[in-house]
Amino acid sequence: MDITIGENMRKSVFPFTAIVGQEKIKKALVLNAVNPSIGGVLIKGDRGTGKTTAVRALADLLPEIEVVDGDIFNSDEESYKDFELYKAIDKNKDDDVLLVKKPMRVIELPLGATEDRVVGSLDIEKALHEGIKALEPGLLAQANRNILYIDEINLLDDNLVDVLLDAAAFGVNTIEREGISISHPSKFILIGTMNPEEGELRGQLSDRIGLEIEVEGISNIEDRIKIMKRREAFERDPLSFRAKFNKKQEKLQNKIIKAKEILNDVVIDHVLLEVIARITLELSSEGHRSDISILKTAKTIASFNGNLTVDFDDLKEAISLVLGEDPLLNQRIQKIRNDIEKREKEGENDLDNDSFSFSNDNLQEKIKEQLEDSLNEKLKKANQNHENQELDKAFNDSNNKDLDNIELGDGESKEKDFINTSDFEDKDESNSKLNQGEKLENFNEFNIDGKFDIKKY
């Protein structure tokens, strides 16, 4: 079923901004409109809670898309010219294309649809002679750059689930018949609804859908009264009712457009990235899809809020949208953040200490060099003083002996080599080596231990 939102049909669509409550559903839908790579929305809940109304209202809200006129895949100019399908099959394609604007559509995939209806069919004989004209596009072709809506998605046949998984993963749908294969772009916002009491969703498809929302009927009395009044007013005069919400619709539409423009410029701090990794590990999330979905969602929330940096509140909201509601989830997230920030702070202190130690090492090296120079200078002076003292002593002894000889009066002149320079030099050298050895032994202890007592020197 093709739910087209054209000018003639808009009057029958309930305004998105007029929906009462269900804030999480509305937020999840808007975030996917800003960033389709989030992977769609799975809405769990009972019937009659406004799920389908919200999906149709989203398509009505979103700005028109620019497409190549007459193209069955709703391609923009770039993909139309680049995609191999058009080069190989559409032999009559003109390089000059006419661009037109079209409203986004909701393509509904019914449970009883055949595979050919979903994937598309191909007339082999015509394909060999007429190219693209032989292709009968399926729902996945119509869904390109639009919204693919599947009610009771948990009851979908397994073969169709496999087809959806391939298209959602690669953004391409492939039709294969008797050795002939044709591929075309199929990038869509996937929105599925289900009642958990009717069966669980196949795991592979659940992992592929980015956001998961549980919805309940509104219990607030005032809100329930407001729902009745608004619905009655809309059914009585749709145009007048829609006119009352035109400004709100336009404001939200512009906010979505602005968010799309700045999305690629949004950044996230390393601490918040670690929060994502740790919370997914604590909750035993398999693989890395949850991490990536949380990251994309957090950045999209920041852009929707008009910010270029993801903050902690953006991250908490993203985690709840991806992993589902958990009464203790916010506490766990906060604890993880506190632990990381505490560790980061201690790490900075350790880094400062390391820098100080490095500076001390340099200082110690310089002090060691200065001490070594000082020690050598002191040893040199000590040796020089020792030599002078020995020379003075020897000279005095010699004079005394000469005087003694004169006093003997024996008339003999005794020549005596009173200075044995070789013995003196050996002795001084020995003393010098001994003194220097003692000092250097102490200095070697400094080198080995890497410590020193400045008072010692």
Residues labelled catalytic: 289
Neighbours of 299 (CB within 10 A): 26
Residue 190 — φ and ψ, nearest 5°?
Answer: -90, 125
Neighbours of 80 (CB within 10 A): 20
CA distance linking residue 61 with residue 57, whole number of Å: 6
User: Tokens 């975030």 — which residue?
Assistant: 31
Q: How far is CA 61 from the centre of its chain?
A: 30
First to last CA, the chain: 95
Q: Which residues of 321-332 are buried (b: 16+ CB within 10 A; e: fewer)?
A: bbbeeeeebeeb
Residue 310 — φ and ψ, nearest 5°?
Answer: -75, 130
Strand partners, 271: none
CA distance linking residue 230 with residue 238, whole number of Å: 10
312 touches 337 (CB < 8 A): yes
CA distance linking residue 38 with residue 300, whole number of Å: 9
- Listing DSSP states for 218-238 in one string gives ---HHHHHHHHHHHHHHHH-H
CA distance linking residue 445 with residue 454, whole number of Å: 13
- Angle among Cα 357, 360, 364 to the nearest 5 degrees reads 140
CA distance linking residue 396 with residue 133, whole number of Å: 129
Neighbours of 278 (CB within 10 A): 17
Q: CA-CA distances (angstroms) from residue 191 to 4, 76, 385, 422?
A: 16, 23, 99, 106
270-282 vs 329-408: helix crossing angle, rounded to 10? 120
Contacts of 381 (CB under 8 A, 6+ apart): none
